[in-house]
Amino acid sequence: MIHYGRTAAGRIQPKNVLERLWAKSTGHSDDECWEYWGKDAQRAGHVRIRKDDKQRMFVHRLAWEAHNAEPVPAGLYVLHHCDNPKCFNPKHLFIGTLKDNMQDMHEKGRGRPPSKLTKEQRKEIARSPLSSAILAEQYGVTSARIRQIKRGA
User: DSSP letters of 4-36?
Assistant: EEE-TTS-EEEEEHHHHHHHTEE--SSSS--EE
- Residue 97 and residue 132 in one domain: no
Q: Would the pLDDT of 114 be above 90?
A: no
Residue 88 lies in a domain: yes
- Residue 71 and residue 124 in one domain: no
pLDDT confidence band for 39 (50 / 70 / 90) = low
- Residue 19 and residue 53 in one domain: yes
- Residue 88 and residue 124 in one domain: no
Residue 113 lies in a domain: no
CATH number reported for the structural domain that contains residue 58 in this entry: 3.90.75
Residue 143 lies in a domain: yes
Q: What is the pTM of this model?
A: 0.62
Which residues are within 8 A (CB) of 127 and not within 5 positions of it... i.e. 6 or more apart? none
- Residue 76 and residue 9 in one domain: yes
Residue 93 lies in a domain: yes
- Residue 47 and residue 82 in one domain: yes
- Residue 141 and residue 73 in one domain: no
- Residue 9 and residue 43 in one domain: yes
Which residues are within 8 A (CB) of 10 and not within 5 positions of it... i.e. 6 or more apart? none
Question: What is the domain range of residue 145?
Answer: 119-151
Q: Would the pLDDT of 64 be above 60?
A: yes
What is the reported pLDDT for 14?
56
What is the reported pLDDT for 18?
72
Residue 55 lies in a domain: yes
> Largest Cα–Cα distance in the chain?
71
Residue 44 DSSP class = T
Mean pLDDT is lowest, of 45-54, 61-70, 129-138, for 45-54
pLDDT confidence band for 26 (50 / 70 / 90) = confident
Q: How many domains does the chain have?
A: 2
Residue 127 lies in a domain: yes
- Residue 93 and residue 132 in one domain: no
| pLDDT, mean of residues 62-82 | 92
